[in-house]
Amino acid sequence: MVNAWTVASIVAVVAGVVGFFTVLRGSAFAAHAIPNGSFAGAAGASLIGVSTLLGLGVFAAGGALTIGLLGRRGRHDVATALALVAMLALGALFLSLSQEYESAVYSLLFGEVLGISPNELAPTAILAGLCICAIVVLYRPLMLSSVLPEVASARGISTFRMEIAFLLVLALATAMTVPVVGTLLIFSLMIGAPAAARSFTDRPPLAMALSVLIALVIVWIAIAASYETNYPVGFFVGTGSALAYVIGRLTAAVRRTRQPGALAPHAAR
- Least Cβ distance, residue 50 to other proteins (angstroms): 19
| Residue placing its CB nearer to other proteins in the complex, 110 or 121 | 110
| Residue placing its CB nearer to other proteins in the complex, 92 or 121 | 92
| Residue placing its CB nearer to other proteins in the complex, 56 or 181 | 181
- Least Cβ distance, residue 67 to other proteins (angstroms): 13
Strands (E), the chain: none
Closest CA to 27 of 64, 69, 79: 64
| Residue placing its CB nearer to other proteins in the complex, 118 or 256 | 256
| Residue placing its CB nearer to other proteins in the complex, 2 or 268 | 268
Strand partners of residue 72: 75
| Residue placing its CB nearer to other proteins in the complex, 118 or 255 | 255
- Least Cβ distance, residue 35 to other proteins (angstroms): 12
Q: What are the phi and psi torsion angles at 267 (to 5°)?
A: -95, -130
- Least Cβ distance, residue 93 to other proteins (angstroms): 4
Q: What is the DSSP string of 183-236?
A: TTTHHHHHHHHHHHHTTT-SSHHHHHHHHHHHHHHHHHHHHHHHHHH---HHHH
| Residue placing its CB nearer to other proteins in the complex, 57 or 94 | 94
Q: What are the phi and psi torsion angles at 72 (to 5°)?
A: -120, 110
- Cα 48 to chain centroid, rounded: 26
Amino acid of residue 112: E
Query: How many separate helices (H) and strands (E) can be counted in the chain?
Result: 11, 0
- Least Cβ distance, residue 111 to other proteins (angstroms): 8
- Least Cβ distance, residue 265 to other proteins (angstroms): 4
Q: Evaluate whether 31 touches 191 at the Cβ level (below 8 Å).
A: yes
Q: What are the phi and psi torsion angles at 75 (to 5°)?
A: -90, 165
Q: Evaluate whether 170 touches 64 at the Cβ level (below 8 Å).
A: yes
Residue 79's CB is within 10 A of a number of other CB atoms, namely 13
- Least Cβ distance, residue 241 to other proteins (angstroms): 5
